[in-house]
Amino acid sequence: MAIHSKEEIVSNLDDEVFGTGFLPHPLPKYKLPKHETDPTAAYQLVHDELLLDGNSRQNVATFCQTWVEPQIRTLMDECLDKNMIDKDEYPQMAELEARCVHMLADLWNSPDAANTMGCSTTGSSEAAMLGGLALKWRWRKKREQAGLPTSKPNLICGPVQVCWPKFARYFDVELRQIPCEGRRLLMSPKEVVERCDENTIGVVPTLGVTYTLQYEPVQEIATALDDLEEEHGLDIPIHVDAASGGFIAPFIHPSVVWDFRIPRVKSINTSGHKLGLAPLGCGWAIWREGGDLPEDLVFRVKYLGGNMPTFALNFSRPGGQIAAQYYNLVRLGREGYTKITQGCADVGAWFADQIKKLAAFDLVYDGRGGVPGCTWTIRKGQEPGFTLYDLADRLRVKGWQVPAYPMPANRGDLVVQRVLSRLGLSRDLAGLLFEDLERAVQHCKKYPASKSLTPASASGYHHN
């Protein structure tokens, strides 16, 4: 009979992590443990807890990318230790960032794409806030030069998500948010002009509204502001929130004029980690020309080994997202982005056509002319015996996250549901989703809830 040492037995058990001593003894969850844990066991503990999360590929609520090519995962791993803010230590990472800025400026028709200003950010929200700050700084300087007060800046936007209310609160700007009215669910030129005055730092149309996926009419708004300046002398700039549409419209909606072809558009933000196909944590802020970014917002950092300009809100962060964005831009080019984006749009339009066949629903957005996807509501006059919150709740049984949410003021009575078509949502996968949606409708009709879910009671299932 072979005799083994205790050390040999323990060594063999390392290959069977559940056979080690950590299994029957839970680790502290809200206090730092006294002792260290074997890395294999620690990994397994964290890994197993994350199994309880949803499957991101089935999350059709998020605009963010949930599938990437394996080469991107490799680049992210290779850049894990590279701090993109340290441009002296990692000059090539800085070069890749600059190339991305100029490529996007060119994509968005900057008149001086080779010399414009821009930067990467942790996401579109940070990029939007940088655009808002530039608007405020330019407005304040103009007022100071004219000897006028600068105490009451305001910003005009439409039905937006939380980014712009946060900007207004954090940076002391009055937010003049245009409410929805009747069938008008977006901002309109008329509503914009009615809210403009000498304290308006800018107007922010959204190219791909979160609630409905539709584009707001940037060109028409710019024309209305041109007329306002001619009549009343108010020169009000535009910042376009192209968080989603910035990587869509240039490829499949070239006739939509929304970018730097409009002289009044001074800056644009976008999410690289949405239809830009980069991993989470990638956004971009681009200014029309170098002079549109106030020099007062640029800081010079000298303690990292060189004299480096920075104008992001965040400081240290890994450079992998920049490398991944550059990879996508050179890997796909206009041809590749067009093919992928059109494929996503085709799936979204197909899903909208299937929704249209169901008697219980009316389409709000049919998947054409905006962000790939579709939005629907319960048909007026219909009483199907369930709410969209009930339907969203039932779909989660199969792992799908299909958000239901009320529209913002003044149409909080209108509850809509949305599917977003991203890279990774194939026609086959969308077909499975629709089959599950049909089954969910039948289940809700057959077994009506004793008390239907509401926005408050379904807070874990709706998107707002």
Give the per-residue pLDDT at 282. 96
Taken in order 36, 37, 39, 44, the sign of the CA dihedral is negative
> Which tokens sit at 324?
């991944």
Poorest-pLDDT segment among 58-67, 91-100, 299-308: 299-308
Average pLDDT taken over every residue of the chain:
91
User: Does 405 score more than 70 pLDDT?
Assistant: yes
All residues at 6 or more sequence positions from 70 whose CB lies less than 8 Å from its CB, including other chains? none
Mean pLDDT of 144-172: 96
User: Does 454 score more than 70 pLDDT?
Assistant: no
Give the per-residue pLDDT at 19. 72
73-331 carries CATH number 3.40.50.300: no
pTM for this predicted structure:
0.91
CA atoms within 13 A on the CB side of 238: 29
Question: Of the candidates 234, 235, 238, which has an alpha carbon nearest to the alpha carbon of residue 135?
Answer: 238
User: Does 131 score more than 70 pLDDT?
Assistant: yes
pLDDT digits (tens, 9 = 90+) for 413-439: 999 999 999 999 999 999 999 999 999
User: Does 3 score more than 80 pLDDT?
Assistant: no
Mean pLDDT of 185-214: 98
Of all residues in the chain, the percent with pLDDT exceeding 70 is 92
Tell me the pLDDT band of 9, cut-offs 50, 70 and 90.
very low
The type of residue at 214 is: Q
pLDDT digits (tens, 9 = 90+) for 110-127: 999 998 999 999 999 999
pLDDT digits (tens, 9 = 90+) for 253-276: 999 999 999 999 999 999 999 999
User: Does 403 score more than 50 pLDDT?
Assistant: yes
Give the per-residue pLDDT at 32. 93
Mean pLDDT of 15-22: 71
User: Does 240 score more than 50 pLDDT?
Assistant: yes
Number of H helices, E strands in the chain: 12, 13
d(CA 217, CA 227): 16
Residue with the two structure tokens 């803010």: 85
Q: What sections of 200-319 are H helices per DSSP?
A: 218-232, 249-252
Three-state DSSP state, 8: helix
The residue ranges of every structural domain in the chain are 6-40, 73-331
Question: Of the candidates 308, 268, 280, 273, which has an alpha carbon nearest to the alpha carbon of residue 130?
Answer: 268
pLDDT digits (tens, 9 = 90+) for 316-339: 889 999 999 999 999 999 999 999
Question: Of the candidates 354, 352, 356, 381, which has an alpha carbon nearest to the alpha carbon of residue 369?
Answer: 352
Most distant pair of Cα atoms in the chain: their distance: 101
Tell me the pLDDT band of 464, cut-offs 50, 70 and 90.
very low
User: Does 461 score more than 60 pLDDT?
Assistant: no
Question: Of the candidates 402, 375, 415, 411, which has an alpha carbon nearest to the alpha carbon of residue 213?
Answer: 375
Poorest-pLDDT segment among 26-35, 138-147, 244-253: 26-35
Give the per-residue pLDDT at 304. 63
Give the per-residue pLDDT at 2. 54
Taken in order 163, 294, 135, 219, the sign of the CA dihedral is negative
Residue with the two structure tokens 């942790």: 122
Mean pLDDT of 437-442: 97
Of all residues in the chain, the percent with pLDDT exceeding 90 is 78
Strands 299-301 and 238-241: unpaired
Question: Of the candidates 158, 85, 132, 93, which has an alpha carbon nearest to the alpha carbon of residue 287?
Answer: 132
> Which tokens sit at 412?
């909080």
User: Does 308 score more than 70 pLDDT?
Assistant: no
Give the per-residue pLDDT at 253. 98
User: Does 250 score more than 70 pLDDT?
Assistant: yes
